[in-house]
Amino acid sequence: MKIKLNYKFYSLLVLFLFSVQYLPAQAIRSDYDYFMKEFQRFFNEKKSDEIYGRSSASYQSKISKEKFSLGMRKFVANVGLMQHFSFVDSTTSGYNYAIKFENSDQLFSVLLDYEKQILRMNFKELPFFIEDKNFNVESSNPLKDSIDLLVEKFVRPYIQNGATAGITLAVIDGKQQRKYSYGTIAKTSKQLPDASKSIFEIGSVTKIFTSLLLAKEVVGGNMYLEDPISKYLPDSIPRLAWHGHPISLVQLSNHTAGFPRLPENIFTTNAVLADPYRHYKVDSLFHFLKKYKVSSQTGVNFSYSNLGAGVLGVALERHNNKSFEQLVIDNICLPLGMKNTSLKDAGVVQGYNEKGRPTSYWHLESLAGSGAIRSTLDDMIIFMKAQVGSKNKLTKAIHLTHQITFANDDQIMALGWRIKKAGNKKIFHHSGGTGGFRSFVAFDDESQKAIIILSNAALDVTAIGFSIFENCL
């Protein structure tokens, strides 16, 4: 899913660095050290109002308390609690401290005025370096022909990275398929990922399943792509529309509804870094939608939204009076014979973040339709073969998901699927990611070729997927 938490630069995202010229601050080192102790306490207690109250009038004129609070909540959700800090140096721009958070090391720059109030502050992630593994990672690749060698060429640099653990992939060409596994299911294990048993979080690849559920309802005459989403939401939520044009189901599937990537109220005091969306129940989602104002024309611009896919999942749940997981199992897994695909934790391999540290599994609750599915390579092979011509009970619905529903100069969308043009070919694809996993799927229905990649590390595999697809297939 690219439900993705980015750890690079937070100066604009979080505490809003404002370039204003000030006279040199008259606060001294002891004042800054005392401020940092208070800052750590307020930060860990999630008291953003207390921090904002320590800022100067000039700082507050640049950013409201509400925006500051939202930025702080997002930042806390990304980095976790503040563990300790240490003084680095001081300049005319202020004092610099190295801060170790639960999941990030940051350089914090702060400038205080003579009243010891904040004039400026910002964070910048400190660079980290992970050495490549000093041994040749095991794999099942036989290295016998050109395709084996190309897979090795593109996968080997990835799996030798010190942050990764295992990766498993399949290359499908018509009725032929090749499966490869590299690395291990955990850094403490020597077991290669098993195509039939090793379960991975697939993240945003879930969105393809959500759109297929919608397509199945449409071909069955139970729902229509142009149905307004408000038809499937509680009556207490005002009609979601732009100048009389309602947000429709198809717009949730192809990311043209104009929804933000995530709802603002997801970053509450209940958010936990290790499992950042688990607290976001359907009541919170409905609370957001009750206050949400459609601010731009719908259906005309692509804007990727985990929120939109989550709302689509909820609409399908309410329409069928079943959980999202049960809908996936009943309508996709059972008809196709996918025996190890669900939303459960059982059997899921250990995931690792971008620094190679073990992560918790993610539970997306009301946003399940955007990225909650877990699956094996063998199950995903079944799913992808169904995309490229394997006859099954979902053929009509699958064909509907391949129809283009939106196109502009930058983006072409089917139902859930993104489309990349390569010469005369149309490559249908999607990537996914959670806190400790990455995934990629792609296919060309005309040539009946496809690829699946599953990794239990949070290092992107999209480039690997396209490289193999375009060079091998």
Identify the three-state secondary structure at position 154: helix
Question: E-assigned strands of 270-403?
Answer: 351-352, 358-359, 374-375
Tell me if the domain spanning 29-125 has CATH number 1.10.3720.10: no
Q: How far apart are CA 324 and CA 235, in angstroms?
A: 21
Q: What is the pLDDT of residues 357-405, one digit of tens each?
A: 999 999 999 999 999 999 999 999 999 999 998 788 999 999 999 999 9
Question: Is residue 193 within 8 Å of 204, Cβ to Cβ?
Answer: no
Percentage with pLDDT > 90 across the chain: 82
Nearest Cα to 464, choosing from 70, 151, 12, 53?
Answer: 151
Q: How far apart are CA 108 and CA 97, in angstroms?
A: 5
What's the pLDDT at 473?
65
φ, ψ dihedrals at 18, nearest 5°: -110, 125
Q: What is the pLDDT of residues 423-441, one digit of tens each?
A: 888 999 999 999 999 999 9
In the chain, domain spans: 29-125, 200-472
Nearest Cα to 442, choosing from 414, 420, 424?
Answer: 420
Q: How far apart are CA 412 and CA 417, in angstroms?
A: 9
Q: Quick one: tokens of 221?
A: 């005459």
Identify the three-state secondary structure at position 333: helix
**CATH superfamily assigned to domain 200-472:** DD-peptidase/beta-lactamase superfamily (3.40.710.10)
Buried b / exposed e over 84-99, threshold 16 CB at 10 Å, is: ebeeeebeeebbbbeb
Q: How far apart are CA 124 and CA 134, in angstroms?
A: 30
Q: How far apart are CA 105 and CA 403, in angstroms?
A: 45
Residue 34 has pLDDT above 60, yes or no: yes
